Structure 1
Amino acid sequence: MLRPAVRQVFAALEARGGAGCVRFVGGCVRNVVMGRAPTDLDLSTQLTPDQTEAALSAAHIRHVPTGKAFGTISAIIDGEPFEITSLREDVETDGRRAVVSFTTDWAKDAQRRDFYLNALYADIRGAVFDPTGEGFDDARDGRVRFIGDAETRIREDYLRILRFFRFTASHGQSMDAESFAACARLKSGIDTLSGERISQELFKLLAVDDPTVVIAAMIDSGVMAHVLPSISAQATPLRAMCRLTSDIERRLLALLHPDGLQPEALECLSSRLRLSNRVAGRLRDAARRLPQADINTGETSWRRMAYRDGKAVLCDALILHSALSGLAQAEWQAIETLITALDLPVFPLKSAQLIAAGLTPGPELGQAIKRIEADWIAHDFSQNVIDAAIDEIRERTKI
């Protein structure tokens, strides 16, 4: 509230709509009430999108219509964006998107939100507003509940099922029974959502300090089967992985173990969730190397695997093996430090050496290099292997 950029945005909007026409909303207010640091500074205003743009222009504040059709204009000051959304009420919903109309009524805007603890507002002077009458207490007590009738809120947007579990994991003290039951009843609605929306929410859930209790409830209720279709997700490996790392993609590896790490399952999952090539490749590489990854084999074996696949792939495969083996965090960190510090050799053989020994350029030369490199790796990168191979070629090709 004291930051110059924040006060500049408030001043610009209030110059157009009067004192109190703009308020902080949602997560930043909720977190402060809960004694946590505020995160995204989202703002709500009684101004329409056109009026918001006019107010920002008058104050010479750069802005972009990031979601103007839905009421959102982003003000940008010193590179920092502030999302400003006009108060809205739903006119029509279909479970994925809503048709909205703009209003000046804070209570109507609050009623269209998902959970009571997210329907809190605060002005620049520090006054907190709770139009539903339930949000402040729910935030203070760590209670995540749908506003009004849970099934009605879910049918407006089925992504709210996943948001319920995510917010319960991150902000809830316990699982609200009525909301949970509604999510379980309407879980098939998840199938109508885009893969991008599902994966974004799943990754946010996996980023919570300890999401395992909530994820176990999702698995037991059948909700997770609609998030990760055709895969038997496992909470136990995930619980162990969460003790070892906060890396979201490594946690996903554990959640997918073992059924979801089969090549065909990973391919279907990547397509359904619209995973990036990088993420899909990381999961695929770790799954491919998991059978060979063993925390008990030691540095020599690790160096071979790191040379073939890279240190990152080796660490991903080994941390999953460590989680399945019940390794403590300190033990894993020692292993990861050792792998990171490994001095990997460079294959010293050049094609010119084999040509000089008697091989002619062509397929046979390439095959010989691959065969010698594999033997060199298997013998712990010994130069003797290369010397012996060159001698053998000279002996075999001499006339």
Structure 2
Amino acid sequence: MGDLILPEAAWRRRAGMDRLCEVLGTDAARFVGGAVRDTLLGLDVADVDLATELPPEDVLDHVRAAGMKAVPTGLAHGTITVVLPDGPVEVTTLRRDVATDGRHATVAFTRAWEEDAARRDFTINALYADPVSGTVFDYFGGVDDLAERRVRFIGDPLKRIAEDHLRILRFFRFQARFGAEVDADGLAACTVRANDLMALSRERIAAELLKLLLANRAVPTVRLMIKQGIFRPVLPEITNVDRLATLVDREIGAGIAPSAIRRLAALLPPEAAIAEDVGARLKLSKSDRRRLVSATFPAGTEPPQAIAYTLGTDLAIDRLLLSDRPGADAQAIGDWQAPRLPVSGGVLVERGVRKGPEVATLLRTIEAEWVRAGFPDKDQLDGIVAAALDQWRRDSSNA
């Protein structure tokens, strides 16, 4: 420990970062967790966390006295969010667990770095770095595990899962993102304790699952989870990974960014009632639930732009990629901007249509034909409007 130096990275040069570390005391604060792990892997870093020996109240006082904005986002657990010009940094006092129940932990603050490391879930997440020298501190072999792409619990996996049941899903999420060969002890513990997931809030389950589905190795990881019965206690509908595998290949082939909701839809039987039930169970947002349900319907045979005009781009891409239509159909609407119907109700009124429901009905007829014709130019649209008005006049005279 102490031989490895954290590589230079853009996030270390963010405005205010050096000043924050000085305020906390460079001998009393270290970068920790994902920022250290991902920098060692050469990956981009979004979120930055600092661990400190200072009590949270002192962190607040020091940061505010330096003229920085500090928000006590998790004071009871020792977390202060410091708002820097390039984004927030979470500063958390070193902690040790006093009591756990599988969902929540009661903590006590400590000044021992190894105690703080020992309460973290996996060795690759318990890496610290000196903010000045970049020296990496590794108490549980995380650097070696990172080199081997091994996701390994700190200590006894069964004990760590008993402390926080969500670690079952986190084990697989990190496996999907970083893992190569699966750690046998961790896998065995997750399999034995899979029923513990039933004690978790569905929001926490959804958050982990949706992150997992975006990872590079989502398909083999989900396949392993199905084989080990991990989903059975909370999402028994997930029994096959084949549609997800096909979808991932189609996303890549079409050059379309993955969507966690689209990928979740691929894991479920294509039935609206099932999608609605799962969306409600996971307490997804209304828009995500609507998207999940929409993805169960077939793409149909209309041109891709017509589908996108009716459903919106995201929902249209979902249906096209989950169908057996060519990937080029989804590509065709990736950057497509739906036009607006260049005909208003006022134009119809000027041409003799009575104000009221008839205008709206006629507009819908014109719009449907305009979409079917592929959003033609003004001359062809004028013909569509004229034909619709002629039909309206015939119908009105026969009424």
- Give the TM-score normalised by structure 1: 0.82
Asked if 2 retains the 8 angstrom alpha-carbon contact of 1:233 and 1:255, the reply is no
Asked if 1 retains the 8 angstrom alpha-carbon contact of 2:279 and 2:292, the reply is no
> Where does structure 2 lack aligned partners over 5 or more consecutive residues?
1-7
Aligned equivalent of 2:306: 304
CA-CA distance at 1:69 after TM superposition: 0.5
Q: Which of the residues 190, 195, 200 maps onto 1:193?
A: 200
Does 2:22 match 1:11? yes
Quote the Cα distance in structure 1 between the aligned partners of 2:112 and 2:40.
23
Quote the Cα distance in structure 2 between the aligned partners of 1:209 and 1:258.
16
Cα deviations across residues 309-367 of structure 1 (Å, max 9, x unaligned)? 33443222112225xx6x6xxxx35752367458757274747747965x765556655
Q: Which of the residues 269, 273, 295 maps onto 1:264?
A: 273
CA-CA distance at 1:230 after TM superposition: 4.2
Aligned equivalent of 1:346: 341
Aligned equivalent of 2:51: 44
Q: Which of the residues 302, 313, 316 maps onto 1:314?
A: 316
Alignment of 1:137-176 (within 5 A): 137-176=144-183
Quote the Cα distance in structure 2 between the aligned partners of 1:376 and 1:13.
64
Q: Percent identity?
A: 34
Which residue identity does 1:199 align to in structure 2? A
Shift of the 212–380 alpha-carbon distance from structure 1 to 2, 3 Å rule, reads closer
> Where does structure 1 lack aligned partners over 5 or more consecutive residues?
none
Asked if 2 retains the 8 angstrom alpha-carbon contact of 1:43 and 1:85, the reply is yes
Does 2:71 match 1:76? no
CA-CA distance at 1:13 after TM superposition: 1.5
* Cα RMSD after superposing both structures: 3.1
Cα deviations across residues 46-70 of structure 1 (Å, max 9, x unaligned)? 1111222232234333211111100
Does 2:244 match 1:238? yes
Asked if 2 retains the 8 angstrom alpha-carbon contact of 1:379 and 1:385, the reply is no
Does 2:283 match 1:274? yes
Aligned equivalent of 1:286: 295
Which residue identity does 2:393 align to in structure 1? R
Aligned equivalent of 2:5: none
CA-CA distance at 1:144 after TM superposition: 0.6
Asked if 2 retains the 8 angstrom alpha-carbon contact of 1:49 and 1:73, the reply is yes
Quote the Cα distance in structure 1 between the aligned partners of 2:334 and 2:51.
49
Deviates more, 1:145-154 or 1:43-52: 43-52
Aligned equivalent of 1:54: 61
Asked if 2 retains the 8 angstrom alpha-carbon contact of 1:33 and 1:140, the reply is no
CA-CA distance at 1:379 after TM superposition: 6.5
Shift of the 175–375 alpha-carbon distance from structure 1 to 2, 3 Å rule, reads same
Which residue identity does 1:264 align to in structure 2? A
Equivalent residues, number = 377
Does 2:136 match 1:128? yes
Aligned equivalent of 2:4: none
Shift of the 62–366 alpha-carbon distance from structure 1 to 2, 3 Å rule, reads closer
The DSSP-based 3-state class of the residue aligned with 2:70 is strand
Which residue identity does 2:320 align to in structure 1? L
Which residue identity does 2:310 align to in structure 1? R
Quote the Cα distance in structure 2 between the aligned partners of 1:33 and 1:342.
40
Aligned equivalent of 1:182: 189
Aligned equivalent of 2:386: 387
